[in-house]
Amino acid sequence: MRKLTVFATIIATVLATSLPQLAQAQDMGRALGGIFNSLTRPAQPQAPAVPSLGSILGPAIGGRAGGSDLLQMLTQSLDQIDEPREIEIGRQLAAVLLGSKPLHPDLALQRYVNQLGRWISLQSARPQLPWTFGVLDDPGVNAFAAPGGYIFVTKGLVDRVDEAELAGILAHEITHVIDRHHLQALRAKARAGIATQVFSSQLNNNLGGALSAQLLALGRDLYSSGLDQDDEFDADRNGVTLAARAGFDPYGLPSVLQQLRTAAPDNPLFSLSLRTHPAPQLRLDQLELAMGNRLDAFSGKPAVLLSQRLAGRRR
Ligand SMILES: [Zn+2]
């Protein structure tokens, strides 16, 4: 964990004073050194459930590819989606997620999760992506990823895990990004024509002109239905390895799955997560098959509570 502490010092700690709650949320982008600049603009007081996405996102990257072009590409080959376009698609999908839940106003927590996530992503196969991590102000227990390196965890999840468990979850989501699982799923949906169907039922939404309403509709559909089971098993397997490579107890992710397994399926805090993923017991079984006892040498580290990590950061 010393490595993480060293890494943490590299990232500038910008905000030392505590701001009023509302201002905190509004200044999140600046306070986090620009990480969220393109994503967090305060919603209007009378904003609808899905705020104006155009206002949250700001301009598209260099106008390289408009939303409809991106969608067009999705229906063809993933090879045609280079990294800037992948990031642009992810930025638009991140807005879908932020449109349904805002970022939690605890800046110390946001900084910590970013440092943790970035440290893990540096050990991944794609350390150069603009990795961005956020905690959504949502009591539910869930985590989401979008192409290009956008990753969100809910406050409800963060409140229930220790550091190794959070590292396991982040590593699972990072693996989805590395392996472009969401792009593949979007492509399948785009080819199946789901975009058109979903879009036609949402004609009244006021979406930013530069964005592809169809891409956003695909994103909403994807986040409510989930990825392929095999992609989830892959992300579990590779996520455990990645977490271990980053210096964390590889049993962090299995430990969260144990928690999920004991959750009542109809508990609304867990229902979306359970509905969009294979059954926790199935995931544990698959992990056991893959891990055996090969990672046992990396386990047994004393648990670090998030409250310990955050204690020195809130002043
Ligand atoms: Zn997953």
- pLDDT tens, position by position, 230-263: 999 999 999 999 999 999 999 999 999 999 999 9
Cα of 235 from ligand 1 centre, angstroms: 6
Q: What residues make up the domain containing 276?
A: 59-311
Please tell me the predicted confidence (pLDDT) of residue 43: 34
Which is higher by pLDDT, 46 or 268? 268
- Examine residue 170 and state whether it is found in any structural domain, yes or no: yes
Cα of 48 from ligand 1 centre, angstroms: 29
| HEC letters along 118-170 | HHHHHCCCCCCCCCEEEEECCCCCCEEEECCCEEEEEHHHHCCCCHHHHHHHH
pLDDT tens-digit series, residues 55-111: 333 344 434 445 556 777 777 778 888 999 999 999 989 988 898 899 999 999 999
- Examine residue 227 and state whether it is found in any structural domain, yes or no: yes
Please answer whether residues 260 and 208 qualify as being in contact, where contact means their C-beta atoms are separated by less than 8 angstroms. Answer: no
Cα of 26 from ligand 1 centre, angstroms: 29
Cα of 145 from ligand 1 centre, angstroms: 8
Residue 264's CB is within 10 A of a number of other CB atoms, namely 10
Please tell me the predicted confidence (pLDDT) of residue 294: 76
- Examine residue 277 and state whether it is found in any structural domain, yes or no: yes
Alpha-helical segments (H) within the chain: 2-10, 21-26, 28-31, 53-57, 67-74, 83-100, 107-122, 155-158, 163-178, 181-191, 194-200, 213-225, 229-245, 252-262, 268-275, 280-291, 306-311
Does the structure show a pLDDT above 50 at 45?
Answer: no
- Examine residue 258 and state whether it is found in any structural domain, yes or no: yes
Cα of 14 from ligand 1 centre, angstroms: 32
Does the structure show a pLDDT above 90 at 16?
Answer: no
Please tell me the predicted confidence (pLDDT) of residue 37: 54
Confidence grade of residue 148 (pLDDT, cut at 50, 70, 90): very high
pLDDT tens-digit series, residues 196-205: 555 444 444 4
Cα of 312 from ligand 1 centre, angstroms: 31
Does the structure show a pLDDT above 90 at 127?
Answer: yes
Cα of 174 from ligand 1 centre, angstroms: 9
- Examine residue 239 and state whether it is found in any structural domain, yes or no: yes
The pTM for the full model equals 0.78
Please answer whether residues 210 and 65 qualify as being in contact, where contact means their C-beta atoms are separated by less than 8 angstroms. Answer: no
Q: Of 248, 259, 299, which Cα lies nearest the Cα of 283?
A: 259
Q: At residue 195, what is the residue type?
A: A
- Examine residue 40 and state whether it is found in any structural domain, yes or no: no
pLDDT tens-digit series, residues 265-296: 788 999 888 889 999 999 999 999 988 887 77
Please tell me the predicted confidence (pLDDT) of residue 264: 84
- Examine residue 279 and state whether it is found in any structural domain, yes or no: yes
Please tell me the predicted confidence (pLDDT) of residue 33: 52
Tally of structural domains, the chain = 1
- Examine residue 53 and state whether it is found in any structural domain, yes or no: no
Cα of 141 from ligand 1 centre, angstroms: 13
pLDDT tens-digit series, residues 166-198: 999 999 999 999 999 999 999 888 887 755 555
Determine phi and psi for 144, rounding to 5 degrees. -135, 150
Cα of 21 from ligand 1 centre, angstroms: 32
